Amino acid sequence: MEEESKKHFILVHGMCHGAWCWYKLATLLGSAGQRVTALDLAASGVHPKRLDELRSFSDYSAPLMEAMTSIPYGERVVLVGHSYGGYGIALAAEKFPEKVSVAVFVSAAMPSISAPLSTIEQEDLMLATMLVRPGIRLQDDPTGGDTVTKENYGSVSRVFIVCKEDLCIEEDFQRWMIAESPGVEVKEMEAADHMVMLSKPKELCNLLLEIANKYE
């Protein structure tokens, strides 16, 4: 594959998961000639931090922010967040908008501009329940009250992938988040459940490649 068509995908897992959940998708993207970084956020997967060492969302998301910091000037990445990972990619887009070609929310928490990221959790009991993790409490306010702004986060192209058979973040709630964020492109995956990267990896891979090629 020619270098100019090669994209760098950074995959951000949801709560209680790790980089391991992307193994099928990462393999497919790599086989398609793409560069893939699947991160373990702090105290997740094989990351050495312990749950009781985390005091804030900044602690939890530090591996993602370190990865974004390391990206060379002039290079832009495709951020892909799943479920709770949507918070992470939103914060990364806010802090590093010039390094993001597109942020893709895969049935993920997607904040709207000028509202605290924690607002999403106040709207839906199912989502709040899903975010509970034994031994750690990050869901009260993921960014300590910070908001995502029109100037930074709002300047980044965003795509939301609706998983129509998701029983964790149901379709109605996915579409509520979309309605709160005008201008977001919407893609749909039929018969896709919450763990779409495991149940429909080929379909998700093809869709991500299509999105990445559109947003250079």
Neighbouring C-alpha atoms within 13 Å toward the C-beta of 200: 20
Q: Which residues does 153 contact at the CB level (< 8 Å), separation at least 6?
A: 90, 93, 94, 97, 111, 113
**Core vs surface per residue 177-212: b (16+ CB within 10 A) or e:** bbebbeebeeeebeebbbbbbebbbeebbebbbebb
Measured CA to CA, the distance from residue 129 to residue 152 in angstroms comes to: 30
Q: How far is CA 111 from CA 80, 88, 90, in A?
A: 15, 11, 7
- State the residue for tokens 């329940």: 129
**Catalytic residue status for 146:** no
**Catalytic residue status for 166:** yes
Single out the catalytic residue among 44, 61, 83, 157: 83
Strand partners, 163: 189
* β-pair type (35-38, 100-106): unpaired
**Catalytic residue status for 31:** no
Instruction: Just list the catalytic residues.
Output: 83, 166, 194
